[in-house]
Amino acid sequence: MNSKTKIKYGIGILILEIILLGLWIYAMKPDPSVSIGIILIVPILFGINLIIGLILYFLKRPLSKFFFANSIICPLIFYAFWSLWFMNYHERNNTEYKFSVNDIVYELSIGKNNEYFYLCDENNNGRVYVGKYEKKGDSLILKDSEAEMYIIKNKLFEFPEKRTEIDLIKTE
């Protein structure tokens, strides 16, 4: 096998690998709770490529060197895709608001892919409200173990620290 053919095979394997790893992460849609899985997946990818390289080496196949090199490249590509997936994870999966009451800035996070919300002050010094929300038309009902609040047209009602309406500022 001449060097041009080897390079074509190597580039083809690399492109196929990039597509497969990207599709795998996209289909898996990992959340932060499984991010520790990288310490299992990276060694497995390394091992698979190393085993394929060894098998091809003992069968005297010219592509064995590509798989030895790929045992380093493949985990790096996977790590890059994994890191890119989590880069804007919170922004992709939550709607964020801020508001102020008595010179205390509060942050409200509402899940886009689930029915949970999280509300606390910026410094986490006060009460934290965590619970489920329910969508009713164009409004949301936020229910925590002790409080029930409402969001109607970007205004928060029945916040325990201030019962009157509070303007919510959407953050990016």
Residue 93 near residue 113 (C-beta atoms within 8 A): yes
Tens digits of per-residue pLDDT, 126-135? 778 899 999 9
Q: Are 156 and 166 in contact (CB under 8 A)?
A: yes
Domain ranges, ordered by start, for the chain: 3-87, 91-171
CA distance 128 to 134: 19
**For 68, how many CA atoms within 13 A lie in the half-sphere containing its CB?**
10
* CB 128 within 8 Å of CB 121: no
Query: pLDDT tens-digit profile of 2-44?
Result: 888 888 888 998 899 999 999 999 998 888 888 888 899 999 9
Q: What is the mean pLDDT of residues 63-76?
A: 91
